[in-house]
Every structure is written in structure tokens, then in C-alpha cells.
Amino acid sequence: MHAEPDLFTQWFGPKGFSVRSTEFDVRVGGGYRFWMQPPDGEPFAISGDFREVDPPVRLVYTFLYDDPDPDDQETVVTFALRGVNTSTEVTVEQRPFTTEQRLSLHQQGWSDTLDRLEAVLLA
């Protein structure tokens, strides 16, 4: 899902945001960059490096805004899939955060993102 840019652009990001363009080199040591368009405001880029690639069950990568807020720092995201009976459980961990406000912002973003992912998969 992360490794397929056409699919990624359909589900990634908080409600109202869109992914404008992507660059992916999905391999350990490879990197990515994508540009997000918020509902209001200027587009911004997010980039990072892949630390662990185990398709299709686990992806670990760094996450950093190209022009970070003073309270932002590079975080590490672990995105994992696990079969549970006839369903798939998705687990996302991202850390560390410097403030509760930034943590809350990302928790809401991931909640919206996973809702969008579910909608794409069920369509």
C-alpha cells in the first residue's frame, strides 16, 4: 500500500488533504518524499528513509516535514498488517513526539488516514 504510489495517493492523509505527488524507493536505505495539499493553505512535503521493508506485513520508516514546525522532529513510523481470522489488523506506531499537541495532531491524522484506507479497500 505504501509502495504503490497510485494507491497511496487515494488513502493517505487526514480528511480533506490530498497527496499531490510522490517519489518512492521502497528498500532498506531507500527514501521517499510526497507533497500534501491541505484543504486551505500551501502544499508541504514529507520525507524520510525506509529502515525495514517486509512486504506485505511491515514497513518502518522515518517521517519528517521538509519545513518542520519548531515542535516537530524526525519520528519513526511502524506500519504493520496482521491477519486475524478473515480480517486484517492494521497497527501504526509513530514516535517520539516533543509535545502532546503534536502527538494529538498525528493521532487524528492517522485515524483519518486509516478510515480513508478502509474506504479504498472496501470500494
Question: 107-120 pLDDT, tens per residue?
Answer: 999 999 999 999 98
Report the pLDDT value the prediction gives residue 1, as an integer from 0 to 100: 56
Domain that holds residue 18: 5-122
Average pLDDT over residues 26-30: 96
Tell me which residue of 63, 98, 64, 68 sits closest to 78, measured CA to CA.
63
Cell 491541505 maps to which residue? 38
pLDDT at 70 over 90: no
- pLDDT above 70 coverage of the chain, percent: 98
The percent of residues in the chain predicted with pLDDT above 90, rounded, is 75
Alpha-carbon distance 55 to 43, whole Å? 30
At residue 67, the pLDDT reads 84
Q: Are 11 and 119 in contact (CB under 8 A)?
A: yes
Contact between residue 13 and residue 30 where contact means Cβ atoms under 8 Å apart: no
Q: Tell whether the model's pLDDT for residue 32 goes beyond 90.
A: yes
pTM of the model: 0.91
CATH, residue 43: 3.30.530.20
Half-sphere exposure of 21 (CA within 13 A, CB side): 4
Which residue(s) pair with 90 in the sheet?
Answer: 81
DSSP letters spanning 70-94? TT---EEEEEEEEEETTEEEEEEEE
Number of domains into which the chain is organized: 1
